[in-house]
Amino acid sequence: MMNSINTNSKRTNQISPSSSQRLKIGVWICLLLLLILIILIATLVPIVILVHMSTSTTTIMAALIDSTQTTTTATSFTWNQSIDGKTVTCNAVNNSNPAYTDCIELRIDGYYFPNDVGCLSQWSTAIASQWDPLEFCRQVTGLSITNASIFYECDANQRRIVWIAKTWSFVEDMRYSRHLRCYF
């Protein structure tokens, strides 16, 4: 009988480690699957975000391009045009108001117009003497413009472009004309 008990005891000991090993293997498999799931999520989330951002950016850019193309006419500012042999650029244009056209960050071959009015940092109808904004508006729009607003600013003394009687020249000035609004 002793032999029988010992045999059962050995069988019990053999079954117990086998169950324990199965449990350990099951836990390791679960941990491995969890790790794979985490890696998969960590990989897919940035991709989904990038795709969404790309789609949103494309939609926004298409809307901006569409709005400027549908409202820009021959009597409006465009982002890039030529006047008297110089390239006139605007960082942005606003042609949505039927009363005027805006050029934001107006530059001619990379230069701002000067400003002998003052450091106002606001829209003003005061006309600078070093360039002719009304005639410039007439050149842009092809219309008999009688009113314009200029956004005057100041910074360091720099080279500014001058335009009087359709002739270009330069002057050193710390003040400049940042934006131009031509009223129809």
What is the pLDDT at residue 26? Answer: 83
Asked whether the whole model's pTM tops 0.85, one would answer: no
Q: Is 79 exposed, middle or buried (0-12, 13-18, 19+ CB in 10 A)?
A: middle
d(CA 67, CA 59): 12
pLDDT of 80 higher than 70: yes
Q: Read off the tokens for 57.
A: 């950016």
In which residue are the tokens 């359709």 written? 166
Residue 113: per-residue pLDDT: 97
Higher pLDDT, 159 or 5: 159
pLDDT above 90: percentage of residues in the chain: 50
**CA angle, residues 147, 148, 153, in degrees to nearest 5:** 150
Q: What is the pLDDT of residues 141-161, one digit of tens each?
A: 999 988 999 999 999 999 999
Give which of 159, 114, 157, 153 is closest to 132, Cα–Cα. Answer: 114
> Is residue 167 very low, low, confident or very high in pLDDT (cuts 50, 70, 90)?
very high
Q: What is the mean pLDDT of the chain?
A: 81
* Sequence spans of domains, the chain: 1-71, 80-183
